[in-house]
Structure 1
Amino acid sequence: MKVLHIIPSISPKLGGPTQVVLNLVMALREEGIDVEIATTNDDGDRLLDVPLWQRVEYQGLPVWFFPRFAQIKDFLPSFSFTRWLWRNIRNYDILDNHYLFSYLPSCAAIIAQWQRVPYTTRTMGQLAPWALAQSKLRKQIYTYLIERRNLDQAAAIHCTSIGEKEDVINFGLKPPKIVLPLGVIPPQIIPNAQQELRNKYGLSPNIPIILFLSRLHYKKRPDLLIESLTELSKHHQDFYLLMAGSGEEKYVQSLLNLVTSLHLEDKVVFVGFVSGYAKDLLLQGADLFVLPTYSENFGIALAEAMVSGLPIITTSGAQIADEITFAEAGLIIDGDINSLAQAIADLLNNPQLRLKMGENGRKYALEKYSWTTIAKQLARAYQGIIEQ
């Protein structure tokens, strides 16, 4: 069996989606499946420094990079990808398309239909009501002209949660739905992570640390988190907030300005994009993880926080909110300042509850979010599709 995963970009700046495809492909290859990735050289405002039009080893995985058409950055078209896939699609038994409303997966689905190669599609939360409401008219036109047929012709649609499956059903799609969560890799334990984290950022001992670790984007609502902290300050609640992640310069500057206007400069630290040891240190050294998102199809950052033993505060917009509730691993809130501030205060003032929720989440994530288990199940799904 030979599989091609297609995704518009694997820029490290995209965070979760990039981690997912790389870790998923690695797990599939460890199961003996011959898997490759096709993508563009997109890296946000820049381009990845990688060889083009050839199979290369990227982070230990076989990847085909194609040049993006720079004038249309959001859609990420690559016309050389089109020519290459038309000539080479028959080398693969099945395609696995990541994302909607983007050139590479849309183009791949159309070519697969023409050449009768089966494909699956990961919607990545883009059929959630909040997501569909963004650029609504453009998505409605795109759906009418291209996307609905591509989705209806898929051999299966891969959903990462029951909530995402419900969104797919509500969209009226016909193909079979595969519900498989995403995975996380358990971190290497860092002894004395809390003390090391405080030393690194010059934080006082015994003051709890709130962690936001995600892309700095209005969808994730870091502004709501910052604003909610003023309520804590009014009640003389001690805390630090570490904001980890990168984003568009203009938006990041607006967050910095917000912190200044609310006089929270001594309580909020922007640490930028982190990975590897620095990321593990944040996840193991903090006391509480908060992601007040509008919408999250799975939320790989939430799963990483769980497997690291951090209690969670998030909204019902995260489609694993029900799993967090079931595992008793955190609090699910309404997306407003008062409910967020109250939830943070409740956990900051109850260290025992934080520890219990963190341990519950860690056990649940280790059992349910194993890449090995997910890869085995996905490989069986591929095989069933190919046999049909």
Structure 2
Amino acid sequence: MNLSEAKSLRQLGLEKPIFVVPNSIDADEFKTLVHPDIFYQYFPHTRHKKIILFLGRIHPVKGLDLLIPAFAQAQAQYPDIHLVIAGPDSEGYLAKVKQLIHGYRCQDSVTFTGMLTGSLKLSALVASDIYVSTSYSEAFSISILEGMVSGLPCVITTGCNFTEAGDFGVTIVVEPKIEKIRDGLLDCLKNPLEAEMTGQRARKFVLENYTWEQMSFKFIETYQAIYAGNPLPYTD
């Protein structure tokens, strides 16, 4: 759970304290970034391209119907960008996405990798230039944290429910609309140095706030407060 989800519970009338401990990542997995050549060995045609990475299920809720046209419009200005869609087909939606891609005539600039795990997933993150998540609605996403901790500038929608990242200036948060997603991508492409700095801030932000170790400390402090009858820390 994150703060946005806690606020939603409040709107439903829950009055008791809400202990907020969001999803987190294993920092050790990302302290030394994997070499991008692992990814290029599997997908050599992506080498020397500016890769925009979508990492998640291929499902209607993920907003690929927004991302595809946004990507196609951005590609009209930046022909060297390449969209990598890394994730499993869900509910047979892959066929619809491929049809959409053909409709926008960008099939030569889109690669489907299937689900990536382990070093291949980590290498894909390092090989990429921009991470994007275009969900209409999302629980707190581990993959967004993975994009951020890999040092990528991230373009995410408000449906991802991670407004804190936008508030701290470590991601670009946009409405789930084609033109807004396109503009977010173009902002990163037009201002590569600023995008790189955003990615560096994102990495630092995650390592300081969203690791397993930090979440463990929060659990311990909260249980100690409950045992001692003290006010709970980390509540909304």
Q: Deviations over 1:231-255 (max 9, x none)?
A: 1233353210110111325211211
Which gives a bigger RCO, structure 1 or 2 (Cα 8 Å, sep 6+)? 2
Amino acid at match of 2:85: M
- Correspondence for 1:172: 13
Partners of 2:86 and 2:125 in 1: how far apart? 10
Gaps of 5+ in 2: 230-236
CA positional deviation for 1:172: 0.6
Q: Between Structure 1 and Structure 2, which shows a larger proportion of strand residues?
A: 1
Q: Does 1:284 align with 2:120?
A: no
Provide the alpha-carbon RMSD of the alignment. 2.0
* Matched positions, count: 227
Q: Distance in 2 between matches of 1:256 and 1:326?
A: 35
Q: Which structure 2 residues correspond to residues 230-269 of structure 1 after superposition, within 5 A?
A: 230-269=72-111
Q: Identify the residue that residue 312 of structure 1 maps to in structure 2.
A: 154
What SS class does the counterpart of residue 108 from structure 2 fall into?
coil
CA deviations over 1:258-283 (Å, ceiling 9, x no partner): 22222212100010111111110111
Q: Which digits, 9 at most, give the CA deviation of each residue in 1:183-215, with x for residues without a partner?
A: 11232534642x543343123544210000012
Q: 2: distance between equivalents of 1:350 and 1:338?
A: 18
TM-score by length of 2: 0.87
Residue 219 of structure 1 deviates from its aligned partner by 1.4
Distance 2:224 2:56 in 1: 35
2:186 to 345, 353, 359: 345
For the Cα contact (< 8 Å) 2:63–2:176, is it kept in 1? no
Give the secondary-structure state (helix, strand or coil) at the position aligned to 1:293: coil
Aligned position for 1:99: none
Asked if structure 1 preserves the Cα contact closer than 8 Å seen for 2:34 and 2:123, the reply is no
Q: Please give the TM-score of this superposition, normalised by the length of structure 1.
A: 0.55
1:358 aligned onto 2:204: no
Preserved CA contact (<8 Å) 1:161 1:179: yes
Contact 1:327–1:360 under 8 Å retained in 2: no
Correspondence for 2:219: 378
Q: Kindly tell me: are residues 172 and 302 of structure 1, through their superposed partners in 2, closer, same or farther at Cα, counting changes over 3 Å? A: same
| Residue 297 (structure 1) aligned with residue 139 (structure 2) | yes
Which of these residues, 63, 67, 70, is aligned with residue 221 of structure 1?
63
- Matched to 2:140, the amino acid is F
Match of 2:32 in 1: 189
What percentage of aligned pairs have identical amino acids? 28
- Select 1:330's aligned residue among 148, 152, 171: 171
Counterpart Cα distance in 2 of 1:227 and 1:354: 22
- For the residues of structure 2 that align with 1:351 and 1:165, how far apart are their CA atoms? 35
The CA distance in 1 between the partners of 2:124 and 2:47, in whole Å, is 15
Equivalent position SS for 1:365:
helix
Q: What SS does structure 2 have at the residue aligned with 1:178?
A: coil
Cα distance per residue 1:89-145 (max 9 Å; x no partner)? xxxxxxxxxxxxxxxxxxxxxxxxxxxxxxxxxxxxxxxxxxxxxxxxxxxxxxxxx
* Contact 1:284-1:308 at 8 Å conserved across structures: yes
Say which one has the larger Rg: 1
What is the one-letter code of the residue matched to 1:263?
Answer: R
Q: Which has the higher helix share?
A: 2
